[in-house]
Structure formats: C-alpha cells, structure tokens
C-alpha cells in the first residue's frame, strides 16, 4: 500500500489534500561546517512561523513539503511541533544540497563513496533523523549550473561532487522509493541529471526537477517532460504573474500529470533579527489560482496540480 511519509508518520496519499511541494520554514546559510541547532532558538522560530502555517491551513491547504535538507537548517523536531500545532501534513527531507558552489555540502561527502552517501540517507529513512524517529518524505539535493555541456560519463558536465550527490540520490531512491527533488534551475543541468539516472537504472519519474520555471528555454521543459520526470514550477509569485499564468497554462495543456506548483516561500533566516523578511505562503491560493481560473483553466486541472500530482509525487510503495 502506498503512503506519504510526514513528520508525524505515514499518511494515505488520498488524505494529503491540497499541497505546496516546495517551501521552507527555516534556513541557515552560514555553511555546512558551522550550522547546527545551537544557531537558532527553536521556540522563537516556532512562534514566528506558526501564524504563516495557520494562515495557509485556513485557506484549505493541508500538505506542505519543507525542502530544507541537512546542513542548511533542517530541524525535524521543529517541523513536528509546527505540524501538530498548525494541523498540516509536513514532509521533511534527507540528502545534501550541492548548489551555491557546494557551501552546504558536509566535508565527509567528499571522502564518502557514492554508496556510502546513499547509505547515510537510507539510514534516515529506515531509522529516522538524528535519533528522533522522524523519517523523511523526500530526498533533496541540488546542483550548480552546467558551464559546458559534456556527453561524457560519469559527470555529464556537472562538478564532481554534484554528480556524486545526484548518483547517491538515485541509489537512495532505489532503496527507499522516495522521490529526488533536485535544485536545478537550468535545462543543461536537468539533462545531466537525467543521464545519471539512466546510468543508475532509475526511472526518470523518480526525479523532480526543481526551479524549472527559471529555465527560459521551454524546449528543455519539453525534454524533461518527455523523459517522464516531474516538472516543478516553484517560483510562483517571484516573477510577473502573467509569466507564470502563461507558462503553467501551456504546460497543463501538454503534461498535466507531471507538473508541481509551489512558491519557494518563507522563511526564518537564521542570524537575522526576528528571522528577517519572511514571505508568506498565500500567493498561490490568493492570486495565482484565481488568475488561472480567469484565463480558462478548468477546476479538474487545478485539482490535478494541487492535490493529485503532489500525492503521487510523494507516495512511497510498501
């Protein structure tokens, strides 16, 4: 039987409900070697962020994927407390984030083999994160842009560490069934990751190409969709409304079962007074979905992209 793994335990995919598949509650950008729970006051973060999550729940959203991985401010106990208080199904992640010149990649990742990295993430799936028993609902990774495309294995133009992270994520997917959500934002980087998945014998549907709406050449969007991978447009609200209305309308017409929508919003910025400037999670509900309706997108398609697709994307068999 399929399930979605949340910080409070497994949930039937049919009960996940309207879901934001890519948001953040807390992030710490100081770097992998210096971050840790000593850097923030969990009670303060809870008080600060709870009203934003309650506001989202009051709008009818019940699912929320927090895509902050380890070494970037992941606090699974905080997420569990917020999930209970807000009445939201919150997912957390395993994996490491290789974008931004690998600032958030821990030192051991460079010495670990691909299998050793994958085993670390599989262990979090099997036993929970840091002794909490809280299990991840997705694998999060990320890559820097490809500067020069290369058809050559094993990197395909990615940096050595980024290629290792993607390969480890693919192997962890095989072992766990968890989808891999990879910060990408560039068509060439998406292509490179799909080649690594092919090398590893992983169906492309195991990959969510994150920030694909940042890639201006929609031929790459078509390439990702034809492969069977997920297209995630998660910067809704960060660009002109009309841009995303046009982009999403066109993609829904061609690939309605592979599209995920989110805002990459939030979050409590560690090190800034009061958490800094926090962007709420309401734009998609308050402005974007009404704009899609106004341009003629049918309600069944809106349900597909906000309810059905996230439930399938995060469902794990067994």
Other C-beta atoms closer than 10 Å to the C-beta of 228 total 14
Residues 141, 70: Cα–Cα separation, whole Å: 10
pLDDT for res 150: 80
Write the DSSP string, the chain. Answer: --EEEETTEEE-GGGS-SEEEEE-SEE--S-TTT-SGGGS-HHHHHHHHHHHHHHHHHTT--EEEE---TTTT--HHHHHHHHHHHT-EEE-EES---TGGGTTS-THHHHS-HHHHHHHHHHHHHH-STTS----SEEEEE-PPPSS----TTTTTS-HHHHHHHHHHHHHHHHH---EEEE--SHHHHHHHHHHHHHTT--GGGEEEETGGG-S-HHHHHHHHHHTPEEEE--TTTS-HHHHHHHHHHHHHH-TTSEEE----B-EETTSGGGS--B-S-HIIIIIHHHHHHTT--HHHHHIIIIIHHHHHHEE--
pLDDT for res 43: 98
Q: Around 218, how many Cα atoms within 13 Å sit in the side-chain half-sphere?
A: 10
pTM for the full model? 0.96
Q: Are 314 and 13 in contact (CB under 8 A)?
A: yes
1 — pLDDT class (breaks 50, 70, 90): confident
End-to-end CA distance of the chain: 6
12 — pLDDT class (breaks 50, 70, 90): very high
Q: Hunting for tokens 């984030």 — which residue is that? A: 97
Residues 306, 293: Cα–Cα separation, whole Å: 14
- Residues 161-213 pLDDT 10s: 999 999 999 999 999 999 999 999 999 999 999 999 999 999 999 999 999 99
Domain 16-316 listed as CATH 3.30.870.10: no
Q: Are 93 and 138 in contact (CB under 8 A)?
A: yes
Across the chain, mean pLDDT equals 97
pLDDT at residue 305 tops 80: yes
Find all residues with CB under 8 Å of 123, minimum gap 6, and list them. none
Which region holds residue 58: left if phi is over 0, alpha if psi is between -120 and 50, else beta?
A: alpha
pLDDT at residue 40 tops 80: yes
Report the candidate in 35, 95, 43, 34 with the shortest Cα–Cα distance to residue 65: 95
Calculate mean pLDDT across residues 213-233.
Answer: 98
pLDDT for res 206: 98
- Is the dihedral angle over the CA atoms 85, 86, 87, 93 positive or is it negative? negative
Report the candidate in 233, 230, 175 with the shortest Cα–Cα distance to residue 207: 230
Other C-beta atoms closer than 10 Å to the C-beta of 148 total 6
Find all residues with CB under 8 Å of 240, minimum gap 6, and list them. none
In the β-sheet with 180-183, what is the strand arrangement from edge to edge? 93-94, 138-142, 180-183, 207-210, 230-233, 259-261
Q: Find residue 104's DSSP bridge partners.
A: none
Q: Are 268 and 40 in contact (CB under 8 A)?
A: yes
- Residues 90-138 pLDDT 10s: 999 999 999 999 999 999 999 999 999 999 999 999 999 999 999 999 9
């Amino acid at each position: 039987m399929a399930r979605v793994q949340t910080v409070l335990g497994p949930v039937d995919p049919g009960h996940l409900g309207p879901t934001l598949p890519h948001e953040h509650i807390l992030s710490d950008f100081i770097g992998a070697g210096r971050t840790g729970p000593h850097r923030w006051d969990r009670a303060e973060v809870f008080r600060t962020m709870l009203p934003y999550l309650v506001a989202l729940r009051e709008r009818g959203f019940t699912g929320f994927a927090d895509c902050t991985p380890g070494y970037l401010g992941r606090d699974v106990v905080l997420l569990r407390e917020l999930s209970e208080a807000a009445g939201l199904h919150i997912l957390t992640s395993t994996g490491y984030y290789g974008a931004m010149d690998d600032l958030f990649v821990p030192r051991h990742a460079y010495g670990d083999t691909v299998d050793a990295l994958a085993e670390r993430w599989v262990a979090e799936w099997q036993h929970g994160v840091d002794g909490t028993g809280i299990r991840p609902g997705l694998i999060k990774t990320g890559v820097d842009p490809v500067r020069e495309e290369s058809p050559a294995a094993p990197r395909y133009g990615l940096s050595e560490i980024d290629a290792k992270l993607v390969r480890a994520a693919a192997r962890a997917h095989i072992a766990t069934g968890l989808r891999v959500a990879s910060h990408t934002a560039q068509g060439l980087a998406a292509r490179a990751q799909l080649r690594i998945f092919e090398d590893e014998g992983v169906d492309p549907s195991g990959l969510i190409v994150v920030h694909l709406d940042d890639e201006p050449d929609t031929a790459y969007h078509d390439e990702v969709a034809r492969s069977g991978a997920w297209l995630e447009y998660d910067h809704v609200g960060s660009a002109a409304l009309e841009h995303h209305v046009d982009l999403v309308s066109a993609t829904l017409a061609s690939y309605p079962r592979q599209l995920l929508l989110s805002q990459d919003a939030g979050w409590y910025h560690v090190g800034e007074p009061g958490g800094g400037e926090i962007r709420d999670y309401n734009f998609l509900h308050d402005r974007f979905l009404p704009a899609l309706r106004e341009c003629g997108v049918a309600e069944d398609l809106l349900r597909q992209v906000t309810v059905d697709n996230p439930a399938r994307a995060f469902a794990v068999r067994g």
